[in-house]
Structure 1
Amino acid sequence: MTITLGQLRIDPVTELDHWPFAPADLFPGVTPEHLGDHQGDLDLMITTYLVRTPDQTVLLDAGNGNAKERPVLLAHHQLDTPYLDRLAAAGVVPEDVDVVVATHLHPDHCGGFTQLVDGSWDPTFPRALYLIPSEEYAWLQQIHAERPEGGVAGDLARTFEDSVLPVVEAGLVELIDLPYEVADGITLRSLPGHTTAHLIAELTGGGRHALVSGDVLHHPFQFSDLTLHQGGDADPAVAVESRRTLCELAADRDALVLPAHFPAGRIDRDGDGFRYRPVASGAA
């Protein structure tokens, strides 16, 4: 589905269509009430968003990338997907991309910054400027500097080593403060909690709005309980406030929400809470 907001053209580019997790592995506090009639795994996806302006091609989130060594975070380990073929099907090759932004520096959002070429990790988008919030970069750099040998921290250190550091060394990174205007109609805004400086992208054009929401929410049933935190939330209390802020923004603006891990939709007020209304392909 191609979404048009004035002069902005937005194309979802999905890296993984099916990414299953046991509910309790994804949400430690999940209850039968949250799940309702759902049985079995929760089937997520990994989706990035290609935004074209009259002057620039911007990629929001870069996916997990292939061949990444993630022995602890096995859902991220040694993927082999046709992501770049899907990008090409949307009319863009890596050399066309002017700007790359990850909503945060978890492996499935920034791993695609680099690709394995003749045994080395090279920038996937060699002409692009990679925009990274200073606080987010400092957080992951510190984990890498501590050289953890195991656990999730070990895989995060590997993410810095094989996905972030190569684009820094190539001179392609600009560390930014938020909010930040990428281009007319594309503004990056801080919504922390999942990570130190998790961001969303506010897209505006032709009087219409969309929000690329990253991991502020991971699954639609979180709308029924915004306090339900995902296991990877760095600060669950702050993440709850960010979920509410996102819902308020989307409802107030009638914005199309473009998440990383579930299909696009709109957020409606429902009493004191919110409910999610998926949008059929082509009806955005």
Structure 2
Amino acid sequence: MTVTLGPLRIDPVTELDHWPFAPAELFPAVTPEELGDHRGDLDLSITTYLVRTPDQTVLLDAGNGNAKERPVLLAHHQFDTPYLDRLAAVGVVPEDVDVVVATHLHPDHCGGFTRLVDGAWDPTFPRARYLIPADEYAWLQEVHASAPEDGVAADLARTFEDSVLPVVEAGLVELIDLPYEVTDGVTLRSFPGHTSAHLIAELSGGGRHALASGDVLHHPFQFSNLALAQGGDADPAVAAESRRRLCELAVERDALVLPAHFGPGRIDRDGAGFRYRPIPWGGA
């Protein structure tokens, strides 16, 4: 279902509806008190957002992509999802996309930059500008250049090789500094910590606001403890500060929050902290 912010139209395009993780795998320091009555895995999703403005079709995050070799990061390994069919279901084919933004260059956000065609990794969105913060690109390029043979770094190097480098070589990448205005109503802002140059997209129109928050937050558990680090946070202290900044901004703007890994909602103040109010997409 479509959310409208004045002239902006926003549709979620979900790559994976159910993406389970053991709580301690996702949040190494999570406590029984934070888990409460929850038992078993935490069920995440992978959701991207299609934003149509009067003059641009913008895709915020591109998902993990199919057929990617991620033998260390097995949760990202060898997907086979109908993501492009789901994109088509909201009226867009890859050639319609003008701009692709990754909130950061982890595999589940930029792997969909490319798809396997006749044994080669081709740009999925051949007419698009792929916007990547210069510092984020430099980080992943350095990981790749170090030629790691094992561990998480090896899968990150594979991500650069099969998902980022092909769009660079096709001349489709624009390295940007933040903040960056994509078009009227779509501004990219720096919210680092999960990675060094992680960004969010601030969306506005008709006096209404939304924040596509990427991996600033991974699960509603974090609202009760904004210091609760996700296992992939590059700088946990900076990531916690970005979570607080996002909450403050969402409250200030009364913004709809559009996370990558759980459902949309709004953030309310709760004493000295914050509380998340999930909203069904149709009611957003």
CA distance in 1, matches of 2:71, 2:208: 43
User: Counterpart of 2:75 in 1: which secondary structure?
Assistant: helix
Residue in 1 aligned with 2:283? 283
CA distance in 1, matches of 2:259, 2:239: 15
User: Counterpart of 1:282 in 2: which secondary structure?
Assistant: helix
CA distance in 1, matches of 2:220, 2:240: 14
Instruction: Return the offset for 1:47.
Output: 0.1
Instruction: Please tell me the residue identity of whatever aligns with 1:56.
Output: Q
Residue in 2 aligned with 1:117? 117
Residue in 1 aligned with 2:84? 84
User: Aligned residue pairs: how many?
Assistant: 284
Residue in 2 aligned with 1:248? 248
Instruction: Please tell me the residue identity of whatever aligns with 1:141.
Output: Q
Residue in 1 aligned with 2:205? 205
CA distance in 2, matches of 1:277, 1:129: 34
CA distance in 2, matches of 1:55, 1:188: 17
User: Counterpart of 2:282 in 1: which secondary structure?
Assistant: coil
CA distance in 2, matches of 1:194, 1:57: 27
Relative to the length of structure 2, the TM-score reads: 1.00
Does 1:214 pair with 2:176? no
Matches within 5 A, 1:40-119: 40-119=40-119
User: Counterpart of 1:237 in 2: which secondary structure?
Assistant: helix
RMSD: 0.4
CA distance in 2, matches of 1:202, 1:241: 18
Question: For 1:135-181, what per-residue CA distance to the aligned partner results, in whole angstroms no more than 9, with x for missing partners?
Answer: 00000000000000000000000000000000000000000000000
CA distance in 2, matches of 1:87, 1:33: 39
Does 1:139 pair with 2:139? yes
Residue in 1 aligned with 2:231? 231
CA distance in 1, matches of 2:218, 2:112: 19
Q: Which runs of 5+ in 2 are unaligned?
A: none
CA distance in 2, matches of 1:252, 1:50: 24
Relative to the length of structure 1, the TM-score reads: 1.00
Question: For 1:190-230, what per-residue CA distance to the aligned partner results, in whole angstroms no more than 9, with x for missing partners?
Answer: 00000010000000000000000000000001000000000
Instruction: Return the offset for 1:282.
Output: 1.1
User: Counterpart of 2:218 in 1: which secondary structure?
Assistant: coil
Residue in 1 aligned with 2:184? 184
Question: For 1:91-124, what per-residue CA distance to the aligned partner results, in whole angstroms no more than 9, with x for missing partners?
Answer: 0000000000000000000000000000000000
Question: For 1:50-94, what per-residue CA distance to the aligned partner results, in whole angstroms no more than 9, with x for missing partners?
Answer: 000011100000000000000000000000000000000010000
CA distance in 2, matches of 1:222, 1:281: 21
CA distance in 2, matches of 1:113, 1:34: 36
Instruction: Return the offset for 1:280.
Output: 1.6
User: Counterpart of 2:212 in 1: which secondary structure?
Assistant: strand
Residue in 1 aligned with 2:150? 150
